[in-house]
Amino acid sequence: MITVVGTGRVGSTLASQLAAEELDDITLIDIVKGLPQGEALDISHMATQYAADVELVGSNDYEAMAGSDLVIVVAGLARRPDMTRMDLLNKNTSIIKQVSEQIKQHAPNSKVMMITNPMDVMTYVALKATGFPANRVFGMGGMLDSSRYRNLLAKMLGVSYASVHGMVIGEHGESMTPLASRTSVNGIPLKELLDQDKMKEAVEKTRKIAAEVIALKGATFYAPAQGVVKMVESIVRDKKCVYPVCTYLTGQYGVSDVCIGVPVVLGKNGVERVIEVILEGVEKESFLKGVQSIKAAVSSIQI
């Protein structure tokens, strides 16, 4: 069973996409009376049209997550147009601590996937609050940022999205690190198709595009939900896909005691292996800047 905690726009969109993929039965939990129950009914009616035989249950009681294999946390306040992800820090820390304690009590054998922003810091909060092994607590990482990066490049190059292969690692925030040096178009290195100025432009646009979407429509939910579905599929079906996931580092990339996005093998056990790539120049500088930003945020809160 998959539990989604928080049934706002991201949580409900995610649940509908999970149901359509028929990945597992789904429990929706929210503190708003009637909301998760209503979403469960609505999504179950949609699932019928997909002929997706999944059960959906909505509840205001955390006990409903008992027996969950995976708990996806979307609870918390959403980012407004005038806010950075870090502006949400203090408001969401207490919420995630409370949710984590409930997960520890009612779903002690589950894996926990963090979506709530600031995602890297909230992943660290959940890891410490649950006391679970690090492989079982992880965050969305660069899944969303990578899709935005590939989208921008495909449009710049006039090629199919499917032909662009690139990854964004590091902080899910202003210091995110698109790996332009390792990006390719069906094996053709990006640097052979774009000059340095255009590559730099793509990186900078990737960092700013979230704020643009939020300014235009108030929130972003379709793209993050689909990124999470890809992660869930790799876990449930043990596909062992290599994705940029926020995970706890213990010396990899030369850093320790921080949760940050890096390439990992994602399977039935959660984060099964961290893959280290050599970072140089501006990419290494950007990654380490993100590390320091996350560590500074963690040091400012009480866990």
Nearest to 248 by CA among 257, 237, 239, 240: 257
C-alpha span between 167 and 201 (Å, rounded): 16
206: nearest Cα among 124, 142, 301:
142
Q: How far, in Å, are 14, 90, 210, 294 from residue 79 at the CA level?
A: 18, 13, 10, 17
- Give which of 157, 103, 112 is closest to 138, Cα–Cα: 112
CA nearest neighbour of 283 among 206, 169, 183, 195:
169
- Classify residue 15 by burial, with Cβ atoms within 10 Å: 0-12, 13-18, 19+: buried
Q: Which of 45, 106, 165, 172 is catalytic?
A: 172
Distance CA 242, CA 259 (A): 17
CA–CA dist 36, 58 (Å, integer): 4
CB contact set of 162 (below 8 Å; sequence gap of 6+): none
Give the pairing type, strands 177-178 and 168-169.
Answer: antiparallel
Is there a catalytic annotation at residue 172? Answer: yes
CA distance 149 to 211: 14
Instruction: List beta partners, residue 28.
Output: 4, 58
Tell me which residues are annotated as active site: 172
